[in-house]
Structure 1
Amino acid sequence: MTDYVDGYCERVAPGLWGEPLNSLSNLAFLVAAVLVWRLAAGDRVGRLLAGLIGLVFVASTVFHLLATRWAAVADSVSILAFVLVYAALFPRVFFGWRLWWLGPPVFLALTVVTALLGGGLYLSALIGLGLCAAILAFARDASWPHFAVAGAVFALSLSLGTLDRDVCDYVPAGTHFLWHLLNGVVLYLVSRAAVRP
């Protein structure tokens, strides 16, 4: 688990400061966490989501500083924790459904299907954002634009994140830092929508 991980253009050798842009761009998650925390003003859902975004900030920063396998796992787990918690909160926050616990297994099933079809592990999140926007628009919930914009931003983020290794010869810093910046926006938008007045 302490094996060295070199998965990004910016990192060319081991070392604590081997990915300065990838490390510093994680501040987008910290900013999002602080903004959601302040917006929540005591709302438990908002405070929970802000805490989870803060966890993403810590885990991703540690990973890009240390570049070890255990840090990579922590990074992935923090993202998964946010997504699964949100999948559970969505039906309860927006529709008051008591079957909120169905959200995480449904999302995991969608992730398995998209991964088996070659769509990777993040396509399910993009589909989920689109579905959330469509469901809320149909229900005439004013929060639907948050999810529509978040979906568009995440589509761009996913494209840039995927391109990172392919552009190393032309863009030595890569594009992964843009993945962080844009995903900070995505997490803020969906969290803001879940903080109910």
Structure 2
Amino acid sequence: MPESWLTPIDNYCERLAPGFWAEPLNAVSNGAFIAAALYALALWSRVKTRDWPSLWLVSVAVIVGVGSFLFHTFANRWSLLADVLPIALFIYSYFLLAMRRYLRLGWGTAVAVTVIFATFNMSFARLWLAAFPGVTLNGSIGYIPAALAMLAVGALCFEREAREPGRVLLAAAGLFALSLLFRSVDAAVCPALPVGTHFLWHLLNALVLGLLMRAAILHADRRRPTHAPG
């Protein structure tokens, strides 16, 4: 492995030195993603519809937890990819599912809209920094489009007779905004709170993913007369 991939990364308040357990709270809090995935898997196993797209989301949620754990323990360039790529995969997978399942778009339109969203997402940081030079939000800029997408799609759900997923998406957007706040202030609170606040980003994000997966599973076939378990 090239040395550049092993270059240490120190992005968070909790890490004061190199070492596998230099970020214990940031590392262990990733167990919340695994817990959210296990909850969703248990729910998935109880509904009558075997919904494979939802099971895919559950699998990606597990990978999100593992990838983030690797980054907050190894803390180098290769583990950074293990952290950010699964998160992006979950975001785009869920966006596509929402286009199909909640807004009931055809496959071609749903994929096209997802590509447009992905393009906007990848360009957003550059647009933000052009408008607000130097305001990096501690590296949280790239997650703002996901919050905006949850708000927009949640609102549109109410026009497509998908009110329950709409309510969940709006609630998830609020929680995600709070989690973004904790991610953004991690470095700023270091003098007063040496452990930082990044671990709260993990805990709240796990809750967001749990809510999103629950909505996807219970809305797998909303035309069924049988009520899915809560």
Q: TM-score range by the shorter chain?
A: over 0.9
Residues 4-83 of structure 1 mapped to structure 2, 5 A cutoff:
4-41=8-45, 42-83=50-91
Quote the Cα distance in structure 2 between the aligned partners of 1:89 and 1:24. 30
Q: Secondary structure at the match of 2:73?
A: helix
Over the matched positions of the two proteins, sequence identity in percent amounts to 35
Quote the Cα distance in structure 2 between the aligned partners of 1:138 and 1:101. 20
Deviation at 1:98, TM superposition (A): 1.9
Deviation at 1:12, TM superposition (A): 0.4
Deviation at 1:40, TM superposition (A): 1.5
Quote the Cα distance in structure 1 between the aligned partners of 2:65 and 2:90. 12
- State the AA in 1 paired with 2:25: L
Q: Secondary structure at the match of 2:187?
A: helix
Quote the Cα distance in structure 1 between the aligned partners of 2:56 and 2:73. 26
My pick for the range that moved more, 168-177 or 131-140, is: 131-140
Runs of 4+ in 1 over 4 A off after TM superposition: none
Number of the residue aligned with 2:167: 145
Quote the Cα distance in structure 1 between the aligned partners of 2:152 and 2:213. 16
Encode CA deviations 1:86-112: one digit per residue, 9 max, x unaligned: 122211122152223224312212214
Deviation at 1:133, TM superposition (A): 0.8
1:116 to 102, 107, 126: 126
Quote the Cα distance in structure 2 between the aligned partners of 1:144 and 1:187. 15
List gaps (5 residues or longer) in structure 2. Answer: 130-140, 222-230
Contact 1:88 1:102 (8 Å CA) reproduced: no
2:204 to 172, 175, 182: 182
Quote the Cα distance in structure 1 between the aligned partners of 2:122 and 2:34. 30
Deviation at 1:32, TM superposition (A): 0.8
Q: Secondary structure at the match of 1:93?
A: helix
Quote the Cα distance in structure 2 between the aligned partners of 1:29 and 1:164. 20
Number of the residue aligned with 2:177: 155
Quote the Cα distance in structure 2 between the aligned partners of 1:189 and 1:153. 10
Q: Secondary structure at the match of 2:16?
A: coil
Quote the Cα distance in structure 2 between the aligned partners of 1:164 and 1:43. 38
Q: Secondary structure at the match of 1:165?
A: coil
Quote the Cα distance in structure 2 between the aligned partners of 1:30 and 1:160. 21
Deviation at 1:113, TM superposition (A): 4.3
Length-normalised TM-score, structure 1: 0.95
Length-normalised TM-score, structure 2: 0.82
1:193 to 215, 219, 225: 215
My pick for the range that moved more, 98-107 or 10-19, is: 98-107
- State the AA in 1 paired with 2:106: W
Max Rg structure:
2
